[in-house]
Amino acid sequence: MAEVELLSTPHNIQISDVSCDSFRITWEMAHEDTSRVTHYFIDLSRKEGSDHNLFKHRDVPTKLVAKAGSLPMAVRGHWFLSPRTDYCVAVQTAIRQPDGDYQVSEWSQVVEFCTGDYAMVHLQQLLDKAQTAAGRMLRFSVFYRNQSPEYFQYVRSECGGAMLPSFKDNSGSHGSPINGKLRGVFLCCNTEFDTGLPPKDSPYGPLRFQISAERLLNPSTNLYFADFYCMYTAYHYVVLVLAPAGSEGDSFCKSHLPQLDLTSNPFLTYTPGDAPVFCHASDIILEVLYTEPLLLEHGILAQISGRHQLMSLSTANAKKDPSCKVCNISVGR
C-alpha cells in the first residue's frame, strides 16, 4: 500500500480588508500541495481569556468548509460577526478522498484580529430605520444638560467655567464609529407634549444647564446621524452630532457619519428667518453630542422641579437590545 504524502501545515496567515461583518484571509502552503488541496477548513471563535487558541475539535471541521480556490479568500455571511470584536482564526487544508473522508493538514497557528466599526452603508440602514420611528416634529427653544452640583462645581473651579468635550462612551450600537473615538458634550432637547418645555425629571442630576437652541443649531453648524438604539424598553434613542463647520469634530464626522440637512430631516431641524424655528422628533429621545466646549456663561443653570434619580432612564454605557427588530440591522449590534 502506497504511503500517503502528508499535507504541509498552513503558515503565515494574513487577515486583510476587515470590516464590521467580513474579512479576507490568505496563507502559505507547500507548492506541491496547491494542486492537491480540494478544501479549506476555517475555524473562527471569539477571543475569550487565555485559552482562546484551544479549539474544541481540532481534528474535525467544526466551522467553515470551503472548496479550495484562489487566495485571499473573502469571508462574508458565513458567521454572524459583531463589530469591534476580537476574534481568533485558524486554517486547515484538506484533500477529499473517494470515500468522502478527508486527508487533512495540521491546524495552522491561531491569528487574532478585530472587526471594524459600522461603515457608512450600515449607518444609512440604521438611519432608514430611525426615520420610521421618529414621529411628528415639535418645537423647542433650548438645549439642556442635567448633572450633579459636584459636576458644575468642578466645571467652574477646574475647567474655567467650560463644559469640556469627553469621549463618547460605549452605549448604544456596538459598531457606532463615535464610541470611544469622538469627543463631545451630551445635550438633550426633548420637550413635554403639554408644556413644550424640557421635562421636570432627569436621571442625571438636579441641576440643569440650558442654552439657546440658536447658539448651537445654526447655518455654521453641521448635523450628523450617529446611532439608533433601545435598552430593552419601548423607548428608542437617536444619537446626533452637532459640529461647527471646519472643526476637528466636523472633519471626523464627514468621513464616518451620514450628514443631515439642517432644514429638512426627521429628527432635529432649524428653519431660518427673523425668528428661527427649531423642532425635534416627538417619538424618540434625542441625544445630541456637541463637539466643542460649552461655557456656562452662555446659558443659565437652575434646579429642576422634578425627580433626579431615575437611573433606569440613564443611558450611560447602556447596552443595546440585540433582539429588537425596530433598531437592529443584519450586520451585528
State residue 145's pLDDT score: 95
62 and 173 in a single domain? The answer is no
pLDDT at position 306: 60
C-alpha cell, 193: 407634549
Q: Following DSSP, what letter does each residue of 247-296 receive, concatenated?
A: SHHHHHHHHHS-EE-TTS-SSEEEE-SSS-EEEEESSSEEEEEE-S-EEG
Residue 4 inside a domain? The answer is: no
CA dihedral 164, 169, 172, 177 (to 10 degrees): 80
Determine the pLDDT at residue 114.
Answer: 94
Please indicate, yes or no, whether residues 225 and 128 belong to a single structural domain of this protein.
yes
Q: Domain range for residue 228?
A: 120-303
pTM of this prediction? 0.85
pLDDT average per 10 residues of sequence, the chain (333 residues): 75 95 94 92 79 39 78 81 90 92 94 94 96 95 94 96 95 93 96 85 89 96 97 90 97 98 97 94 96 97 71 61 88 59
Q: In whole angstroms, what is the distance from residue 44 CA to residue 107 CA?
A: 12
Q: Per DSSP, what are the bridge partners of residue 11?
A: 28
Sign of the Cα pseudo-torsion (173, 174, 175, 180, in order) = positive
Are 202 and 131 part of one and the same domain? yes
Same domain, 68 and 131: no
Residue 146 counted as domain residue: yes
Same domain, 202 and 85: no
Residue 62's pLDDT is 46
Q: Is residue 253 part of a domain?
A: yes
Distance of CA 203 to the CA centre of its chain: 23
